[in-house]
Chains A and B, each alone.
Chain A
Amino acid sequence: MLDAVWLIPALPLAGFLILLVAGKRLGEPAAGWLATLMCAGSFVASVVVFVGLLGENEESRQFTQTLFEWVPAGGLRVDVGFLADPLSITMALFVTGVSALIHLYAIGYMHGDADFSKFFVYMNLFVFSMLMLVLGSNLLVTFLGWEGVGACSYWLVSFWFSSEANATAGKKAFITNRIGDWGFLLAMFLAFATVGTLNYEGLFANVPTIAPVTATAIGLLLFLGAVGKSAQIPLYIWLPDAMAGPTPVSALIHAATMVTAGVFLMTRVNPILGAGYDWVPDVIAWVGVITAFVAATIAVAQNDIKKVLAYSTVSQLGYMFLAVGVGAYVAAIFHMIAHAFFKALLFLGAGSVIHGMDGEQDMRRMGGLRTFMPLTAATFMVGWLAIAGVPPFAGFWSKDDILLFAWGSGAAGGKALWAIGLVTALLTGYYMSRQVFMVFFGEPRWRAEPAPRPASVGAAANELDVESDEHAHGGPHESPWIMTAPLVVLSVLTIVGGVINLPFNEDVDFLEDFLHPVLGVNEAEIAVSTGAKAALAVIAVGAGLVGLAAATAVYLHRRVRAVEPEVLARAWYYDEEVTAFVGGPGRKSFDAIAWFDAHVIDGAVNGVAAVVRNVGGRLRPVQSGFVRSYALGVTIGVVVVLGYFITRVSF
């Protein structure tokens, strides 16, 4: 059963290739169904491998499948191989499962788009890349997937590239990610130079021989890669802009593929992080918690329905890095899974709203939508309660787990980490409630103005043509079943998802038991009494509810005037400062480098060419064009050579 592991990435790859060749001919909706089936098949393969792993002993739950030798270069030997262990299969399960649902949804969402089949080409490639990343048995295969998701995010974010803003957002996503990729590359070089292999197995077996300073360097460079991919401070700026893509893409990037890669990588290389200096995890934890807090403050003042969710993703990813930093790897993965469920749900719900509002994304022009799209509203609210940390939804269990570990860990300023995490939980409850109230409750605000759509938002521009035929009068409407069915499935998963890792006793924390072989000693042990745990949980829920209540007062009952300072709406001006820097001093330094390249590097190359040309020019007169003079030259040469042999060389 474990042999089926190659099928997991192979099916989306097959879907990609078929759609690449025959996508146009398949057309709509066959292309979408094919892509969806491939993802679903991949999910089935993951389940098969998962069951196979469960059949093994806990110690031997690791299976490496080598397909072929990829790079045989001297001491460097890299295979294309897959590592099926509890961590990678856990990832593969939710990546394929959530992706399949998003694909299904996209069939409805992309209905009528001119590039319907092309969309699914990229989507399948995206899923394939993510699975290569997750299942790779060495750093290079992981990096292949890593770059693959980067490239796919570029194609998909700028999918409607006829609008300048969308194309720019795609470029921004790609280039920002490149900074992180640079760290990943250096980490690979360093790992190979130190240990002589890129295989995870070989790397981790040799961890005791790596000097702490080297392990620290590798760990921090990989963390830089993770910061880029998982949108943490200071490289988070691409994620909010990535909203320019079609909503299923946003859901895919935020929930299943792409941004979770960084957290996964940190979890995968936990032995290396453990071998570095003590302060490395602290750095990760602090970057995570600060990101979580800052992103949550920004989300409070956003008016674009997808931007709120984007910043909330950044914030939730910060939680995951906080968990990694305090050694709560299980909690990080747990929150990642829970987040995959509820964030996919929220994004698809937002997409359903946008779809029903004919492309409107501004929450100020929504309101009262729950009567028009009851199913979307109900499922969206499930996601809302989950992310706000209300029990018994999945988000409550996972977030509580992270905060518990932050409290109990010995990390530098552990209590401060916990406090900031708690404030972030409060803000999360506040901004998500604000969103729900602005969109689904209150007075309808979309009749007041005849919806002038913001020019910068290109999403759903294409479907507008089709939709306006079917719904000539506009007005909000519920989405077709193909879009609401994934919402219902995801909301069920969001409600019950917490059961995979319940904290009550040793028998019900399934995820922790399952992941134990991968994490081993690096998973932190905390000593917090049951009473304290319960108290912490109550405080965490209380924080979420306070946020919720505050939002109720402000946005539902309008008792308090909304506080949405400009500084938060414009994301602490961070994005603008970065833009100004890159456009100003950054641009100048790049110009200087370009000058150096053109004059010094190229100069050396051109100089060699100039010397050769000069010498050649001097030799040109020899070439007179008189055949007989050439013949004379040859003859004299022969005579000289013969004379030399006859007189000088003794036979």
Chain B
Amino acid sequence: MIAAVEVTPAWYLVLGAALFSIGTFGLLIRRNPLVMFMCVELMLNAVTLTFVTFSRMVRDTGGLSIVVFVLVVAAAEVVVGLAIIVALLRKRPGATADDVAILEG
């Protein structure tokens, strides 16, 4: 028997926090630039989910409108970020993020 569990906003918040943490750790641990990039996207989407949840909780559409902005920024970031990563991998196949450290101070 599955108890009739009510899905409260807290579930979404926990899910958002979990996704954000996964993204953060992925970003810190993985070296493949493409995967790191996906982790960043994951973090962004976790934040988006949190925004939507809070928006529902406080009955305010402000959070929803922020989401739209985040989506647009994420899309723009994808365009630039992916282009850089693709260019990098074309030039040096299999390169990791640590291999491209020439911009040191």
Most buried by B among A623, A628, A632, A635: A628
Cα(A619)–Cα(B27), bound, Å: 25
Cβ-defined contact, B27 with A621, below 8 A? no
Which of B52-60, B67-75, B94-102 lies at the interface with chain A? B94-102
Cβ-defined contact, B24 with A625, below 8 A? no
Task: Decide if A624 is an interface residue (CB 8 Å cutoff).
Answer: yes
Tell me, rounded to whole Å, the shortest Cβ–Cβ distance linking B52 to chain A: 21
A interface residues, tally (CB under 8 Å): 13
Cβ-defined contact, B28 with A622, below 8 A? no
- Given contacts A631-B27, A631-B28, whether A626 and B101 have CB atoms under 8 Å apart is yes
Q: Which of B33-83 contact A (CB under 8 A)?
A: 36
Q: Is the interface of A mostly helix, strand, loop or mixed?
A: helix
Task: Decide if B105 is an interface residue (CB 8 Å cutoff).
Answer: yes
Query: What are the residues of chain A within 8 A of B101 when measuring CB–CB?
Result: 624-627
Cα(A625)–Cα(B99), bound, Å: 9
Task: Decide if A620 is an interface residue (CB 8 Å cutoff).
Answer: yes
Cβ-defined contact, B103 with A625, below 8 A? yes
Tell me, rounded to whole Å, the shortest Cβ–Cβ distance linking B74 to chain A: 17
Tell me, rounded to whole Å, the shortest Cβ–Cβ distance linking A612 to chain B: 15
Tell me, rounded to whole Å, the shortest Cβ–Cβ distance linking B103 to chain A: 5
Tell me, rounded to whole Å, the shortest Cβ–Cβ distance linking A104 to chain B: 69
Cα(A524)–Cα(B78), bound, Å: 88
- Given contacts A626-B97, A628-B98, whether A620 and B24 have CB atoms under 8 Å apart is no
Cβ-defined contact, A628 with B28, below 8 A? yes
Query: What are the residues of chain B within 8 A of A624 when measuring CB–CB?
Result: 101, 104-105
Instruction: Tell which of A621, A628, A631, A632 touches B105, judged by Cβ atoms closer than 8 Å.
Output: A621
Cα(A577)–Cα(B35), bound, Å: 84
Query: What are the residues of chain B within 8 A of A625 when measuring CB–CB?
Result: 100-105
Q: Which of B15-34 contact A (CB under 8 A)?
A: 24, 27-28, 31
Cβ-defined contact, A623 with B27, below 8 A? no
Cβ-defined contact, B24 with A623, below 8 A? no
Query: What are the residues of chain A within 8 A of B31 when measuring CB–CB?
Result: 628
Query: What are the residues of chain B within 8 A of A619 when measuring CB–CB?
Result: 105
Cα(A617)–Cα(B97), bound, Å: 25
Cβ-defined contact, A623 with B98, below 8 A? no
Tell me, rounded to whole Å, the shortest Cβ–Cβ distance linking A88 to chain B: 64
Cβ-defined contact, A627 with B105, below 8 A? no
Query: What are the residues of chain B within 8 A of A632 when measuring CB–CB?
Result: 28
- By beta carbon, the residue of chain A nearest B102 is A625
Cβ-defined contact, A620 with B105, below 8 A? yes
Tell me, rounded to whole Å, the shortest Cβ–Cβ distance linking A537 to chain B: 90
- By beta carbon, the residue of chain B nearest A623 is B105
Query: What are the residues of chain B within 8 A of A622 when measuring CB–CB?
Result: 105
Query: What are the residues of chain A within 8 A of B100 when measuring CB–CB?
Result: 625, 627
Cβ-defined contact, B102 with A635, below 8 A? no
- Given contacts A631-B27, A635-B28, whether A623 and B104 have CB atoms under 8 Å apart is yes
Instruction: Tell which of A621, A627, A635 touches B24, judged by Cβ atoms closer than 8 Å.
Output: A635
- By beta carbon, the residue of chain A nearest B98 is A626
Most buried by A among B31, B36, B102, B105: B105
Query: What are the residues of chain A within 8 A of B36 when measuring CB–CB?
Result: 627-628
Query: What are the residues of chain B within 8 A of A627 when measuring CB–CB?
Result: 36, 97-98, 100-101
- By beta carbon, the residue of chain B nearest A631 is B27
Tell me, rounded to whole Å, the shortest Cβ–Cβ distance linking B17 to chain A: 12
- By beta carbon, the residue of chain A nearest B24 is A635
A627-641 vs B, CB cutoff 8 Å, 1 = contact: the mask equals: 110011001000000
Cα(A444)–Cα(B103), bound, Å: 86
Cα(A213)–Cα(B105), bound, Å: 63
Query: What are the residues of chain B within 8 A of A635 when measuring CB–CB?
Result: 24, 28
Q: Which of A311-368 contact B (CB under 8 A)?
A: none
Cα(A619)–Cα(B104), bound, Å: 12
Query: What are the residues of chain A within 8 A of B24 when measuring CB–CB?
Result: 635
- By beta carbon, the residue of chain A nearest B30 is A628
Cα(A619)–Cα(B105), bound, Å: 9
Query: What are the residues of chain A within 8 A of B27 when measuring CB–CB?
Result: 628, 631
- Which residues of B does A touch, CB under 8 Å? 24, 27-28, 31, 36, 97-98, 100-105
- Which residues of A does B touch, CB under 8 Å? 619-628, 631-632, 635
Known pairs A625-B103, A627-B100. 6 more at Cβ < 8 A?
A622-B105, A623-B105, A624-B104, A625-B104, A628-B28, A628-B36
Ordered by A's residue number, 13 sampled pairs between the chains whose C-beta atoms are within 8 Å are A621-B105, A622-B105, A624-B101, A624-B104, A625-B101, A625-B103, A627-B36, A628-B28, A628-B31, A628-B36, A628-B97, A631-B27, A635-B24
